[in-house]
Amino acid sequence: MTGHHTPADPSRSGPPERDGLGQAGLPAQALAGLRVLDLATLFAGPLAATLLGDFGAEVIKVEHPRRPDPARGHGPAEDGIGLWWKLLGRNKKTITLDLSHPDGRDVLLRLATGADVVIENFRPGTLEKWGLGWDELSAVNPRLVLARVTGFGQFGPYARRPGFGTLAEAMSGFAAITGEPDGPPTLPPFGLADGIAALTTSYAVLTALRGREASGRGQVVDLALIEPLLTVLGPQPLWYDRLGHVQTRTGNRSGNVAPRNTYRTADGSWVAVSTSAESVAERVMRLVGRPELIDEPWFPTGTGRAAHADELDEAVGGWIARHGRAEVLAAFEKAEAAVAPVYDIRGVLADPQYRALGTVTEVPDDELGTLRMQNVLFRLSETPGAIRWAGRPHGADTDEVLTGIGLDRAAIDGLRRAGAL
């Protein structure tokens, strides 16, 4: 189980030291002492909690006793154990609690008394229906931050609709600009909107906690899946507002620069080329034997080159098609031009740069043995993150957590008999 941090001496050769939690000498984690209650399901809310847990927050994952987080059943499984959950559930203690049960509600309020953050993604009004809305939560803990992650936000005409990342990818404008010009709008084959919303939620939570330092009070974070993805799509509202410009599908090409595309090599592999800077575009043209194009009046600007993408793609693609991938990569590197191999996961795991960074790490797991998964998201030199454990079984830590808030064995057994656990 390894963390992400840089060497104390930056002049040292070799990879950064990477300590597992519990090893002697591990620096304090940046979010140690922070307690997070993860009430959310599937991906955006739970992943935000995972990101906080990676840097030391104590995350308590609360699942329904009879309906665990559906993420446990998504994707391939080994021996009936979902592997996606091993990533999403890492660094979390797992407990069961029926929040709609009066006894479950009381236990949640007791947990919230000692928590810093609650993350939930129920439809607006659900927590209120159970007597667990902001009024009740803030009454027991005025310093609490409540992060509410929904498809469409807490108000507005769509607020009570079911919302998933796919809908955000469609409504944000992402699908409309993705795909080939003569093809249909294209959705990503992974949880893009959820992932971006998770990153945004973790940022929002930390922003709210920073605000608490000044005010002494918690607050509500209202995050809609449809908004963060719209932000990362760039200045489209500005373009339309000022120029009436609507971005269209261009496949792998860019409307801003060229050449920018994926190209097939002589050995059947693929590489991606980017020339956002004019100097890089010039190097590419010299490399592929077409230096005369540099003198064209349209070449110095990105939009000018984009308007002549056919001609530039023919020059670059034709040269790349005559050479194997290793030769292409070596020639581009020597020319200081921007190129990258197009990998599937096999290429990622074998790549020396990813290995040097420790981007994929090994995590011991009681159920499945050693697992390889993505490491914590970034490196901190003084307070690094760490993966303490992979996702644990449903309800594995219920007794420990509830004992920690003062419930004895008789009380816990009573909650189980009542169906609250």
Contact (CB, 8 A) for 393 and 94: yes
Q: Of 54, 194, 313, 365, which is the active-site residue?
A: 194
Contact (CB, 8 A) for 116 and 205: no
For residues 108 and 129, give the distance between their C-alpha atoms in angstroms, rounded to a whole number: 14
Backbone angles phi, psi at 147, to 5 degrees: -95, 120
Residue of 391, 381, 356 whose CA lies nearest to 29 = 381
Backbone angles phi, psi at 160, to 5 degrees: -95, 5
Run of H or E including 111: helix 102-113
Catalytic annotation present for 69? no
- CB neighbour list of residue 397: distance below 8 Å, 6 or more residues apart: 60, 93, 94, 95
Query: What are the C-alpha distances in Å from 408 to residues 35, 60, 413, 417?
Result: 21, 19, 9, 14
- CB neighbour list of residue 345: distance below 8 Å, 6 or more residues apart: none
For residues 242 and 223, give the distance between their C-alpha atoms in angstroms, rounded to a whole number: 28
Compute the half-sphere exposure of residue 184: CA atoms within 13 Å on the CB side of its CA: 4
Q: Among all residues, which ones are annotated catalytic? A: 194
